[in-house]
Amino acid sequence: MKSLVDMDVRIKMACMAFFSIVVLKAGANGLIALSILCIALWGVARFKAIEIIRHFRMIVLLLAIVFLARAVTVSFFIGAAGRLISLDPKGAVEGAVICWRLVILTFLGIVWMSTTRPSGIRTAVEWFCRPFPGMHGKQVATMMGLVVRFLPVLLERARETSAAQQCRCIQNRRNPVYRTVKFAIPLLCRTLETADQLADAMEARCFRPENSRPLALKPGRSDWLALLGTTVLCALILVS
């Protein structure tokens, strides 16, 4: 776990980007190789199975929908098999492969989020933005940091707003547009107010984007080796 946490964030981000691209192009062999890598990362990161299950619980429904959308064929007319809904074996294999890819991607995302501090991500984004003229890396990085910081606050506010509306029987209104508008507008107004207050609070503490100090990044030998290994593995998967 420590080795992944201490890894240079830029190199970790590059490795994740390579794997994410390759997983979309990989065939069965490539997916097996990537799955073995995920198991190895699981061992290194020492995740508890319960944590992984908790994270995956969120996407089980999505995976089921993706699989069913590929595997099940719905006919408007009763076909030769005499059924309205039939299972397409080729589609089922395609659906399983897509789900497999999504599982690998999600797992890589969990590894990334569990082993990288938001300040590290911010610094890496700032570094990657540097060569592009007109892209204000510091501002992009600060914005990302604030989004990460404020997500729990915004989610909590959304829960509060929803609970407050349920207390006043919003569920009796069947019109989804009405319900969405009544939920989204107050939430948006509160979010904008919070953004105003945040801007004032940052200004009160002498914030200037150019003054923010990025983390010192220094890739070590193991970081370069990890990048080399990732590049070789990705190239092999793409070629095979």
Partner 1 sequence: MTPSGIPIIDVSHLSRRFPDGTLGIDDISFKIEKGEFVVVAGHNGCGKTTLFRHLNGLLAPDSGDVKIDGIPVSADILRARQMVGLVFQDADSQIVGETVYDDVAFGPENLCLDPAEVCRRVTSALIAVGMVHLSDQKPHRLSGGEKRRLAIAGILAMESQVLVLDEPFANLDYSGMLQVLSRITQLNRSGKTIILSTHDLDKTMGHAGRLILMKNGSILRDGRFENIIRDVACAGVKTPCACRMEALYG
Residues at the site binding partner 1, with contacts judged by CB under 8 A: 117-119, 145-146, 148-149, 152-153, 156, 194, 197-198, 200-208, 211-213
Strand residues in the chain grouped as ranges (E): 72-74, 85-87
> Of 174 and 208, which has the nearer Cβ to partner 1?
208
In angstroms, give the least distance from the CB of 125 to partner 1.
14
Torsion angle, CA of 177/180/184/185, rounded to 10 degrees?
40
Smallest CA-to-CA distance from 3 within 223, 224, 230, 218 is with: 223
Q: What is the C-alpha to C-alpha distance for residues 102 and 27, in angstroms, rounded to an integer?
A: 14
> Of 115 and 230, which has the nearer Cβ to partner 1?
115
CA 29 to chain CA mean position, Å? 25
Q: What is the C-alpha to C-alpha distance for residues 200 and 6, in angstroms, rounded to an integer?
A: 34
Please give the C-alpha separations between residue 111 and each of 13, 41, 104, 117, in angstroms, as whole numbers. Answer: 11, 8, 11, 12
Q: What is the C-alpha to C-alpha distance for residues 64 and 73, in angstroms, rounded to an integer?
A: 15
> Of 63 and 121, which has the nearer Cβ to partner 1?
121
In angstroms, give the least distance from the CB of 194 to partner 1.
5
> Of 151 and 181, which has the nearer Cβ to partner 1?
151
DSSP-derived letter for residue 133 is: T
In angstroms, give the least distance from the CB of 214 to partner 1.
10
Pair of tokens at residue 226: 């990890």
In angstroms, give the least distance from the CB of 205 to partner 1.
4
The burial class, CB within 10 Å (0-12 / 13-18 / 19+), for 131 is exposed
CA 74 to chain CA mean position, Å? 32
CA 76 to chain CA mean position, Å? 37
> Of 30 and 120, which has the nearer Cβ to partner 1?
120
> Of 171 and 211, which has the nearer Cβ to partner 1?
211
> Of 162 and 194, which has the nearer Cβ to partner 1?
194
In angstroms, give the least distance from the CB of 183 to partner 1.
20
In angstroms, give the least distance from the CB of 148 to partner 1.
7
